[in-house]
């Protein structure tokens, strides 16, 4: 099960040890996985829980906050995965359940500053490291095989350069490019992939048309609040916070402070 997960070797090494100890009836633990959207938290959580036994998943059914479901049907499971834990209303209801040591929780979040210390102190916390280009290339190379497509390593490397460091994004790009190529517009080669990516608004380095529009807006106005940026771009705030800004922050283009979003450089 762990062999299928590429990257995050330090986390996997420790989770493998924890899995073995839990299966040997050692004390229960709770796990919190933190990282950007699309980095593989859910896949790793499921791999870990699958090594322990049957588990149940609770996911938010909408973007806004949601309530924990805890009834006889849910509580009969020993192992639980709760995604988007930062969106859970009244997270304190979890504390006595976690403290009972009767259950094992794996939690996932892409929000670093929204989780209370009382929750963090009850978990082993693991923060995902950035994926290397080589790891992303391997991910898309193996993913292509699941689609019965065998691509050269050089093409996998090309996709990796457009990935923004995200396994989810690179898989999505591959599927979209494949759709265009299958319609006969381009060949599955370096030139064809690059052309197809430009057709869907993805430029060199993985910058999207939305990234460019965001930067142009901010460079003209210097500083903007999230609400103002959302209104100007006509994009919901969650898309800005989870998909656009992490990439631009990592590249050093913007700065986010209590005063708002500030343009730094192109």
**What are the pLDDT digits (tens) for 203-262?**
999 999 999 999 999 999 888 999 999 999 999 998 898 889 989 998 999 999 888 999
Which phi and psi angles does 139 have, rounded to 5°? -60, -45
Are 39 and 7 contacting, i.e. CB atoms less than 8 angstroms apart? no
Q: At what angle do helices 190-199 and 153-161 cross, to 10 degrees?
A: 30
Say what the pLDDT of residue 3 is.
Answer: 64
**Residue-wise pLDDT tens digits, 122-163:** 999 999 999 999 999 999 999 999 999 999 999 999 999 999
Helix (H, G, I), strand (E, B) or coil at 193: helix
pLDDT at residue 222 in the model: 81
Q: For residues 31-42, give the mean pLDDT.
A: 93
Structure tokens, 8: 């995050």
- Could you tell me if residue 204 is left (phi over 0), alpha (psi between -120 and 50 degrees) or otherwise beta? beta
Burial of 114 (0-12, 13-18, 19+ CB in 10 A): exposed
Average pLDDT, integer, range 48-74 = 85
Q: What mean pLDDT, rounded, does the chain reach?
A: 92
pLDDT at residue 64, rounded to an integer = 60
Residues ≥6 apart with Cβ < 8 Å to 169: 38, 163, 206
Return the residue matching tokens 């913007």.
254
Taken in order of first residue, the domains within the chain and their CATH numbers are 2-127 (3.40.50.300), 133-205 (1.10.8.60), 209-263 (1.10.10.10)
Report field, pTM of the whole predicted structure over 0.75:
yes
Closest C-alpha to 45, from 83, 75, 17: 83
pLDDT at 23: 85
Report strand pairing: 31-34 vs 104-109: parallel
Tokens of 133: 């280009």
What's the pLDDT score for residue 63?
55
Strand partners, 56: 80
Report residue 45 as tokens. 């959580």
- Among 141, 143, 145, which Cα is nearest to 155's? 141
pLDDT of res. 2: 66
Element (H, E) at 126: strand 124-127
Taking residues 101-109, report their average pLDDT. 94
Q: How confident is the model at residue 24 (pLDDT cuts 50, 70, 90)?
A: confident
């Amino acid at each position: 099960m762990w062999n299928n997960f590429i990257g995050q070797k330090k986390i996997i090494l420790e989770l493998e040890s924890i899995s073995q100890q839990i299966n040997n009836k050692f004390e229960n633990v709770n796990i919190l996985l933190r990282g950007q959207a699309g980095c593989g938290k859910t896949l790793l959580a499921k791999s870990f829980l699958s090594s322990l036994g049957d588990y149940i998943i609770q996911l938010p059914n909408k973007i806004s906050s949601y309530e924990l479901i805890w009834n006889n049907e849910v509580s009969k499971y020993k192992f639980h995965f709760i995604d988007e834990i930062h969106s859970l209303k009244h997270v304190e209801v979890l504390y006595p359940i976690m403290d009972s040591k009767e259950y094992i929780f794996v939690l996932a979040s892409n929000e670093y500053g929204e989780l209370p210390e009382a929750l963090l102190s009850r978990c082993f916390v693991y923060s995902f490291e950035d994926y290397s280009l080589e790891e992303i290339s391997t991910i898309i190379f193996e993913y292509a095989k699941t689609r019965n497509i065998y691509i050269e390593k050089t093409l996998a490397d090309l996709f990796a350069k457009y990935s923004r460091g995200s396994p989810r994004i690179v898989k999505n790009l591959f599927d979209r490019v494949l759709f265009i190529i299958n319609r006969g517009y381009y060949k599955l080669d370096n030139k064809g992939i690059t052309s197809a990516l430009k057709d869907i608004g993805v430029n060199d380095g993985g910058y999207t048309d939305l990234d460019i529009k965001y930067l142009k807006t901010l460079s003209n106005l210097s500083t903007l609040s999230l609400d103002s940026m959302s209104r100007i771009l006509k994009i919901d705030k969650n898309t800005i916070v989870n998909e656009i800004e992490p990439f631009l922050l990592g590249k050093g283009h913007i700065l986010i402070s209590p005063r708002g979003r500030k343009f730094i450089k192109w």
